[in-house]
Structure 1
Amino acid sequence: MFCIATFETTHMALRFEKMCRAAGINARITPVPRELSASCGLACRFPCEARDHVRALCEKNHVEVAEYHKMEE
């Protein structure tokens, strides 16, 4: 299982990835999965066990996440 964060803008997705990596969290940019949205766009994949830490980092760094999703491999 892994988590996906979705964003309203590409800029926020890129900021999210950079912030996570600086904190030692394995995050990577990925297209938004089709089961979440038919529109094209960027999301960021990260380990679900880091979810609480990621949320705290986003709040501290003013990174706006549209939604968080848990996904099966």
Structure 2
Amino acid sequence: MIVLFRNAREVIRADAAAREAGLDCRVRPVPEEYSAECGMCLFVADAHSGVFRELMLRNRIEATYHDEK
């Protein structure tokens, strides 16, 4: 799953929260087919997508989710 954020600060917060929770994610440049204000995004393992979404809600981090193609 590809997760987009409004800005780099939110990417960093999300990455830190996910790593603390033991979730598999990676910070990467936003793929060309997606438009975002921030040039970074998170790639989250599909197996962790539900838990990741709940984690973002609990931490009040706004994100947009896309399935990998």
TM over 0.5: yes
User: Offset at 1:26?
Assistant: 1.2
Structure 1's unaligned 5+ residue stretches are none
1:31, 1:40 within 8 Å by CA — same for their partners in 2?
A: no
1:71 aligns with 2:68: yes
Structure 2's unaligned 5+ residue stretches are none
- Corresponding residue of 2:20: 22
- Corresponding residue of 1:7: 5
Aligned residues: 69
User: Offset at 1:37?
Assistant: 2.4
Q: Report the residue type matching 1:29 in the other structure.
A: V
Q: Report the residue type matching 1:55 in the other structure.
A: R
Structure 1 residues 34 and 57, CA, compared in 2 at 3 Å: closer, same or farther?
same
Report Cα offsets for 1:33-58 as digits up to 9, x if no partner.
00112866110011012111011111
Q: Report the residue type matching 2:59 in the other structure.
A: N
1:47 aligns with 2:40: no
User: Offset at 1:18?
Assistant: 0.6
Normalization by structure 1: what TM-score? 0.84
Give the share of equivalent positions with the same residue, in percent.
30
